[in-house]
């Protein structure tokens, strides 16, 4: 038992950093899913796209800050493309995301020129801020916490403005929005662009933190983001806007602590996706199971 506790404690700083970074993916999943009622799968493509664009630019000698911003722009474009495909050609939301995600895999190969690229000798946005930030986990926790807090504050403020209310109104009832002089097309495109921009930001920062980019680095990130969102909403709820915005971040932090616990008790890394999928399935199925149990009790 002592070995398990020690192993878990040693993993906590690293998984907290991971939780903060992958919180951007959870936010990117939350915006289309919850605010726009648009099931979007593009994050699984926009995350590695942001990482690959950033890595390719760094290798080409571009400064890390504009390289990161251009990576975010790539994610924004990916989200907008999914929204446009759905709206213009009336293709199912899930299929639209799958199409863009599939296309981005080939785009990532073209951008990198090969399956993976190492960045060990390249300057990154971390080294620009501080050379100690590259290796000091405590400084990374401070820096990424500040980045997450600023992002949450800006997102919360935006969603409370007239523009943010328009976006949320489209999610509540897109058919009624035109009668309120709200353009559903514009806000659906904006919402998906914003969500996938956040996912691409996560990809760009993760690549610079781990020192390499891989075209398959996005495998499973969507289910991770959904798991984080589910955990956060289970704890905080969705009754207020502040809770809805904060839930993905809290969920991401807790999810990676669960990952630490799983590794500490001997769960193999290859089994983590299986465990995550089962957890999300049980969480999403729980309301239906409860209703079924209540209905059975009433029959008795």
Average of pLDDT values for 245-269? 89
Q: Map residue 147 onto helix, strand or coil.
A: helix
Instruction: Kindly list the distances between the CA atom of residue 187 and the CA atoms of 36, 147, 173, 291, in Å, as whole numbers in the listed order.
Output: 9, 25, 12, 35
pLDDT for residue 300: 63
pLDDT for residue 214: 95
pLDDT at 222 over 70: yes
Assigned token pair, 262:
């799983």
Distance CA 258, CA 245 (A): 21
pLDDT for residue 206: 96
Q: For the segment 176-191, what is each residue's pLDDT rounded down to a tens digit? A: 899 989 999 999 999 9
pTM value > 0.85: yes
pLDDT for residue 298: 67
When mean pLDDT is compared across 13-27, 63-77, 93-107, 219-233, the lowest value belongs to 219-233
Distance CA 272, CA 115 (A): 24
Distance CA 198, CA 42 (A): 12
pLDDT for residue 274: 81
pLDDT band at 285 (very low <50, low <70, confident <90, very high): confident
Q: Domains of the chain: which residue ranges?
A: 7-226
Query: How high does pLDDT run on average in the chain?
Result: 91
Contacts of 169 (CB under 8 A, 6+ apart): 176, 177, 180, 182
pLDDT band at 269 (very low <50, low <70, confident <90, very high): confident
């Amino acid at each position: 038992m002592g070995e398990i506790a020690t192993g878990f404690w040693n993993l906590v700083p690293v998984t907290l950093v991971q939780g903060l970074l992958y919180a951007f993916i959870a936010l990117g999943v939350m915006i289309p899913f919850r605010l726009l009622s648009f099931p979007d799968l593009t994050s699984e493509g926009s995350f590695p796209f942001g990482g690959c664009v950033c890595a390719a630019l760094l290798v080409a000698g571009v400064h890390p800050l504009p390289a990161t911003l251009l990576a975010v722009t790539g994610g924004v474009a990916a989200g907008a493309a999914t929204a446009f495909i759905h709206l213009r050609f009336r293709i199912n939301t899930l299929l639209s995301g799958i199409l863009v995600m599939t296309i981005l895999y080939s785009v990532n190969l073209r951008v990198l020129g090969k399956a993976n690229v190492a960045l060990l000798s390249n300057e990154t946005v971390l080294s620009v801020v501080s050379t100690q930030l590259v290796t000091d986990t405590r400084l990374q926790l401070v820096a990424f916490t500040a980045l997450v807090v600023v992002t949450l504050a800006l997102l919360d403020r935006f969603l409370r403005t007239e523009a943010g209310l328009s976006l949320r109104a489209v999610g509540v009832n897109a058919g009624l929005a035109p009668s309120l002089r709200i353009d559903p097309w514009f806000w659906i495109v904006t919402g998906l662009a914003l969500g996938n921009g956040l996912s691409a930001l996560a990809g760009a920062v993760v690549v610079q933190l781990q020192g390499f980019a891989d075209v398959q680095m996005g495998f499973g990130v969507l289910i991770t983001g959904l798991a984080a969102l589910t955990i956060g909403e289970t704890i905080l709820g969705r009754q207020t806007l502040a809770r809805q915005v904060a839930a993905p971040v809290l969920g991401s932090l807790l999810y990676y602590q669960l990952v630490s616990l799983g590794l500490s008790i001997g769960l193999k890394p290859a089994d983590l996706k299986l465990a995550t999928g089962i957890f999300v399935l049980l969480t999403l199925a729980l309301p239906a199971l409860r209703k079924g149990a209540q209905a059975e009790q009433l029959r008795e």
